[in-house]
């Protein structure tokens, strides 16, 4: 079982919104929308962005995944294993639909909030299995290529948590430190080579 205090979380702001639908014949209610949008840059802080590649969820949706309210593990809206949460990817992103339990007051309250438009955004919890980093002039960018998906959430306030920003800043510091060390090593080796070449010069 993952430590949900350490699981990474990403929220998508206005890029992905939720809607409700009701089956008029059966009375069943659903909340549906995109939990992730591919190839869109999300700002971590000024000059630093992140995006989700189309390959990110390949192989991840066969796991037992929950749909939560605000990442709260006590507030489960649906679950893929139970057939109450459906997830799939298309050219836009990761789409999901959860069947609302009419006997769960928390779920019904959320359904009504989404229906009114008071709550309409999303997030997902995961671990990164593969990613790339690049510098774009004065800016930096991470592309998440593959993830281990644990949960998806309907959230009230979609924003990067400070812990996520701090973690990325630490990663950037490590990347920059390694780059400086590599440059120093390369420069030292070059200077040693030049000095060695000078020693071999025979004066006329």
Specify whether 79 is located in the same domain as 167.
no
The two three-digit tokens of residue 107, written as one number: 């779920």
Specify whether 46 is located in the same domain as 128.
yes
pLDDT score of 49: 92
Distance CA 193, CA 27 (A): 79
Specify whether 63 is located in the same domain as 86.
yes
- Is residue 66 a contact partner of residue 78, using CB atoms and an 8 Å limit? yes
- What's the farthest any 2 CA atoms get from each other in the chain? 102
Count of the separate structural domains present in the chain: 2
Specify whether 136 is located in the same domain as 190.
no
Distance CA 150, CA 126 (A): 5
Specify whether 195 is located in the same domain as 107.
no
Least confident of 65-79, 134-148, 164-178: 164-178
Specify whether 60 is located in the same domain as 128.
yes
Residue 48's Cβ-count burial label (10 Å; 0-12, 13-18, 19+) is middle
Give the model confidence (pLDDT) of 15-37 as tens digits.
567 899 999 999 999 999 999 99
Residue 190's Cβ-count burial label (10 Å; 0-12, 13-18, 19+) is exposed
Specify whether 98 is located in the same domain as 171.
no
Give the model confidence (pLDDT) of 76-123 as tens digits.
999 999 999 999 999 999 999 999 999 999 999 999 999 999 998 888
Specify whether 172 is located in the same domain as 97.
no
Model pTM score:
0.79
Distance CA 19, CA 96 (A): 11
Q: Is 143 helix (H, G, I), strand (E, B) or coil?
A: strand
Domain that holds residue 76: 8-160
């Amino acid at each position: 079982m993952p430590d949900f205090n350490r699981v990474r979380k990403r929220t998508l702001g206005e890029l992905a919104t939720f809607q409700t639908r009701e089956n008029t014949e059966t009375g069943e209610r659903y909340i549906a929308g995109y939990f992730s949008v591919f190839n869109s840059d999300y700002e971590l802080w000024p000059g630093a962005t992140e995006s989700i590649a189309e390959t990110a969820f390949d192989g991840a949706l066969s796991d037992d995944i929950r749909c939560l309210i605000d990442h709260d593990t006590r507030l489960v809206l649906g679950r893929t294993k139970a057939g109450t949460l459906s997830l799939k990817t298309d050219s836009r992103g990761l789409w999901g639909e959860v069947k609302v339990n009419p006997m769960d007051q928390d779920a019904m309250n959320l359904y009504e909030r989404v229906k009114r438009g008071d709550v309409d955004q999303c997030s997902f919890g995961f671990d990164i299995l593969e990613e790339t980093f690049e510098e774009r002039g004065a800016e930096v960018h991470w592309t998440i290529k593959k993830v281990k998906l644990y949960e998806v959430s309907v959230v009230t306030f979609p924003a990067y948590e400070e812990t996520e920003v701090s973690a990325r800043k630490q990663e950037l510091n490590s990347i920059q430190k390694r780059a400086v060390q590599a440059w120093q090593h390369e420069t030292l080796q070059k200077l040693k080579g030049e000095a060695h070449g000078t020693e071999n010069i025979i004066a006329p």
